[in-house]
Chains A and B, each alone.
Chain A
Amino acid sequence: DAKTTQPPSMDCAEGRAANLPCNHSTISGNEYVYWYRQIHSQGPQYIIHGLKNNETNEMASLIITEDRKSSTLILPHATLRDTAVYYCIVRAINTGTASKLTFGTGTRLQVTL
């Protein structure tokens, strides 16, 4: 699986949009971009994933650049409950076997009043 690079920490004011970047310049054509978050002392939670088109769900939006070498997770109206570590992961699917997720150290997002 391709490696990803994320800033170690970010701050965001409550109610504002949080934009979390991720670099995955060595991503392969069959690898999706996944985002998870981990609130302190809990298991990681799936947020969103995408291949090349922008994706949106009830939690967030995912913007993937045209060359697929980077992406941005957008939390449109951050709340204090969004304070967590956010992991960007690339993962191949449709390969016939389950592929491992490789976690980096992620971005620690602190949402403040």
Chain B
Amino acid sequence: DGGITQSPKYLFRKEGQNVTLSCEQNLNHDAMYWYRQDPGQGLRLIYYSQIVNDFQKGDIAEGYSVSREKKESFPLTVTSAQKNPTAFYLCASSTRTGSDYGYTFGSGTRLTVV
């Protein structure tokens, strides 16, 4: 079945360390997105990519970096510059044009800084 796979489901990081969250999709979607969710809050956009080798900053990109070397993959690196990285991270993908069913989301990665 087609879908989005995020790994790992839970991740613990020591302060000062970079960590990379994986996101892979087999839906043949052009666009991919990373969102952050804090407890009791909505989703906030970190980065998004519409095509391979291109990406744009979202609303809260500081302290994060991404790459889009393959259509299927959009990894997110949480750097040591991110002051409050503990959160629930969600990856999503969508078709690029036309009427569609919006986004397909992964099941998320919960990152905790210890």
Residues of A within 8 A of B (CB): 32, 34, 36, 41-46, 49, 87, 89, 91, 93-98, 100-106
Contact B101 A49 (CB under 8 A): yes
Q: Considering the chains assembled together, what is the distance between the CA atoms of A103 and B33 in angstroms?
A: 13
CB distance from A52 to the nearest CB of B (A): 13
Report the tally of A-B residue pairs with Cβ distances under 8 A.
Answer: 70
Q: Considering the chains assembled together, what is the distance between the CA atoms of A43 and B36 in angstroms?
A: 11
Query: A49 touches which one: B45, B102, B104 (CB < 8 A)?
Result: B102
Query: A98 touches which one: B88, B94, B104 (CB < 8 A)?
Result: B94
Q: Considering the chains assembled together, what is the distance between the CA atoms of A61 and B99 in angstroms?
A: 19
Contact B102 A43 (CB under 8 A): no
Contact A97 B97 (CB under 8 A): yes
Contact B103 A44 (CB under 8 A): yes
Q: Considering the chains assembled together, what is the distance between the CA atoms of A41 and B92 in angstroms?
A: 15
